[in-house]
Amino acid sequence: MEKLTRLLKGVAFAGICLMTPSLTQGQTYPPVPISADSGQFGMGIQRTMTLLASSTPAHRNTVRVLFYGQSITEQDWSRQVADWLRHKYPNANLVIENRAIGGHSSQLLWRTAEADLYPFQPDLLIFHVYGSHIDYEKLIRRVLQRTTAEVLLQTDHITKPEELVDPASLPAPTMKDWSAWWNTFFLPDLVKRLGHIELLDQRVLWRQYLNQNHLAPTQLLKDGVHLNDWGCFVMSQLVEQHLVYHAGAPKDWAALVKDEKPRWQGDRLEMDFTGNRVDLVPLEADAGTKVRVLIDGKPPSAIPQLYGVTRVSPWPGTSWPLILRTEAKTPLQLEDWTVNFHNASEDGKSFTFEVVGSRTGPDGGGRNDAPFVSNSGRVAIEPDDWNLAYCKAVFKSAIPADLKATWTVVPHFADEPTMPAAGDPSVEALVTVAQGLSNGLHHLVLEREPGTSTRLKAIRIYHPPLAADGP
């Protein structure tokens, strides 16, 4: 499998941390100086920073932050940034997760993002990955088409002595000089073309730090690419410099998420909206009451796009999913799915399988080298979505005779949501009635039972900045 060979050749670069231990814990390092350009840092993520900065003990804004990428993103610098955010903004209701998967370059990560990234609906995505520029752009476009996330893109840190030379003194790079082209042309150009992205050019700042402190790149690394404790300290400091609030910044982000005032006519509310997600913001006094929801004349459960799937279960003892992505050709239903592997070759490159749904029942089987669509159409798997051979090649252990892959179909909707019971009055108790609609014009209807007191503080509409087919 040529694909597997290419992936394995890039393992050390793409990110599996199996090498030497990091530096002594508790060691102090030269501080990272504030960049001369820092006045513009954070300008692309001001919706997130406004939510953080405006949080108070009486009104704690919920802010969802996702770290995504490979083993570099799995390292301790991301925890340090998360801890710093919690300390800096103690009044915010921060929901922070790291769903990075070591060893998974952009060629693989755009597939796992279907279950990992878009359903999380982050306010801020902090992202770094190596790999194909084509698949990298595909992933970022989908973030901007399917979520209202602000994106902090990180360029690569310095790993080689020749990278200490200022690229401004060198000829313009071509794709033959991949690393220089990626960092000095592709990523900045992507930000210009797509917009709605903050570029953290940590490559420039990393170079400055090494040169100012007369350091070799290896002094911040534990192997050829992964960070030691010192490197994690530097990377966390560089990310934190971009997490800054600018009180006077233009509110270019205001159209991403809007609160609409509910306008009931008797026990019915109707409104048009443009976006892909709708939340209800209830009043505390309405706890326990219900409303009935229709979108474009249908209950949300009748809209296929509002069904999601969880990440497929991993190779034993790891976080690497056995299947990168599962699709469906017919509408899903809420259930659990299992793939039973059979007749696997020692290297995992060849096997047969069968799929079973907890409600659908046995649903067919096939071979991994051919596209598969189950009898019901509720499971579709492309040959490139199988991850067994890659897991086997990297982790070496024998393939278990009873190996299974499992995942769950989950709802991103509510047909008749119940307003939540009173909880922390400082945190909004949002009720998501639809997440994952096509990013366009829709018609919303809410109906309440006659005689009930159901009221809403707001109807929150999420409108991703890119249309589904991109600019």
CATH number (domain holding residue 420): 2.60.120.260
Q: Which residues pair with 418 in a beta bridge?
A: 290
Query: Residue 449 has what pLDDT?
Result: 84
Looking at the fold, whether 59 and 107 belong to one and the same domain comes out as yes
Q: 250 lies in a domain?
A: no
Q: Taking CA 355 as the corner, what is the angle to CA 350 and CA 359, rounded to the nearest 5 degrees?
A: 170
Please indicate, yes or no, whether residues 396 and 447 belong to a single structural domain of this protein. no
Domain assignment present for residue 337? The answer is yes
Tell me, yes or no, whether 352 and 428 share the same domain: no
- The runs of H, that is alpha helices, within 215-280 are 229-242
The kind and range of the H/E element at 70 are: none
Return averaged pLDDT per consecutive 10 residues of the chain, 471 residues in all.
42 37 60 85 96 97 98 98 98 98 98 98 98 98 98 97 89 90 96 94 96 96 96 97 95 96 94 98 75 97 98 97 98 98 97 98 98 98 98 97 97 92 84 96 94 84 86 42
- Flag whether 471 is in a domain: no
- Say if 468 falls within a structural domain: no
User: Is 128:74 a contact under the CB 8 Å cutoff?
Assistant: no
The answer to whether residues 63 and 180 belong to one domain is yes
Amino acid at 365: G
Q: Are residues 295 and 311 in the same domain?
A: no
Residues 133 and 194 in one domain: yes
**Are 316 and 451 in a shared domain?**
no
Q: 112 with 148, same domain?
A: yes
Residue 311 belongs to what domain range? 306-411
Residues 238 and 278 placed together within one structural domain of the fold: no
Q: Do 331 and 261 belong to one domain?
A: no
Closest CA to 385 of 311, 443, 435: 311
- Residue in the structure block whose two tokens are 């976080």: 319
Residue 39: predicted pLDDT: 86
pLDDT at 271: 98
pTM of the prediction?
0.93
* 247 assigned to some structural domain: no
By CB atoms closer than 10 A (0-12, 13-18, 19+), residue 230 is buried
Instruction: Using the 3D structure, point to which of 396, 411, 426 is the last residue of a domain.
Output: 411
How many structural domains are present in the chain?
3
Residue 368 lies in a domain: yes
Domain CATH number, residue 126: 3.40.50.1110
Do 293 and 321 belong together in one domain?
A: no
Query: Does the residue 87 lie in any domain?
Result: yes
**Rounded to the nearest 5°, which phi and psi values hold at 430?**
-75, 150
Asked whether the beta carbons of 286 and 456 are under 8 A apart, the reply is: yes
Same domain, 353 and 450: no
252 assigned to some structural domain: no
